[in-house]
Amino acid sequence: MGRVVAAAVYSAGKKITNITLDEGSAWAAKPGHFVWIGLEEPSTQELTNLQRQFDLHELAIEDAMEKHSRPKLETFGDALFIVTYSPVRKDGKLQFIETHIFAGKGYIITARNGHSASYAHVRQRCEARPILLEHGEDFVLYAILDFVIENYQPVGEAIHAEIDELERNVLCSALNERDIQNLHSLRRDVLRLRRYAAPMVEISEELQRLDFPFIDKNMSPYFRDVQIHVTRQMEDLATLADIASQTIEIGVLLEASRQSVVQRKFAAWAAILAFPTAVAGIYGMNFENMPELTWHYGYFLVLGFIGVGCTALWASFKRSGWL
């Protein structure tokens, strides 16, 4: 069985009373009243009960019993069915909680399929603004959608902070495999956030165009406000995705640069060591008639020549930045 988080009836911008599920349709039928019901993981029986009371379309109920891949808005006569997703990030793992919204004349019903941020905050905000709540169902619908979009911001900020930390680490030290995996995971989470947020632009645009008995044309600026919030979130998420990608690229470039420095040092020392090796190799051939073999000071001269040559090579590589 699901859980009834809250169920109340409102009129003239004020809460009248709490109700049970079975009382919803009677209150919704009263002029100037509407009911706001919030459910968590509702059962088939509860959805069927609501369908019977509020004459919900059977396709909307079938939709509510399925899992969807992205947010959407569908119309059934004079009623709306909206699918939204709220991001929840716990222990570095991102998941999306699906919420179904049924909206029509005299009722707003939300069915949450998981543990996301409580919609009690939305209810408290609305009840604290009676002048706006007096608009009725359409204002509540706006408040719910706006709250869903707000949930993306703290998740995005947390991911941004982690990407910034990894970016600082990349600039200070070598990029290891774990850093690359973390960056890739964060970038994937950002792309998932964008994927679930993007359809909300279309939903808010459609709500501005729809002509429904319970949606006042004066509410269009509020739905446009939702659209603006979503657009800003999309821009922020696009920036985050770019930062994550650039951090990986910078890390790879810095690592390549560090390896190049090491390779240059190895090459420089190899060249310095190759000089005495070459000289010693020539004088180590032990031919009987080689010149200078009987010279009394030949050994010291060759050592001096090797020392001067190695010093000259070292100074040259030092000036060129190879050592």
Q: What is the pLDDT of residues 249-267, one digit of tens each?
A: 777 776 666 666 667 777 7
Q: What is the pLDDT of residue 141?
A: 93
Are 46 and 187 in the same domain? yes
Q: 166: closest CA among 176, 152, 151, 154?
A: 176
Are 115 and 76 in the same domain? yes
pLDDT band at 103 (very low <50, low <70, confident <90, very high): very high
Provide the mean pLDDT of the chain: 84
Tell me the per-residue pLDDT of 36-76, one tens digit each, with 9 for 90 and over.
999 888 888 888 888 898 888 888 888 888 877 789 999 88
pLDDT band at 1 (very low <50, low <70, confident <90, very high): low
Q: Give the structural domain span for 186.
A: 3-254
Are 169 and 29 in the same domain? yes
Are 301 and 168 in the same domain? no
Are 134 and 203 in the same domain? yes
Q: pLDDT exceeding 70 applies to what percent of the chain?
A: 88
Are 162 and 306 in the same domain? no
What's the pTM? 0.77
CATH number of the structural domain spanning residue 149: 3.30.460.20
Lowest mean pLDDT among 124-128, 239-243, 247-251: 247-251
From 218, 233, 254, the end of a domain falls on 254
Q: How far is residue 296's CA from residue 298's CA, in Å, rounded to a whole number? A: 6
Q: 139: closest CA among 71, 226, 21?
A: 226
Domain total of the chain: 2
From 210, 236, 254, the end of a domain falls on 254
From 208, 233, 254, the end of a domain falls on 254
Are 314 and 190 in the same domain? no
Q: How far is residue 241's CA from residue 239's CA, in Å, rounded to a whole number? A: 5
Distance between start and end Cα atoms, the chain: 73
CATH number of the structural domain spanning residue 309: 1.20.58
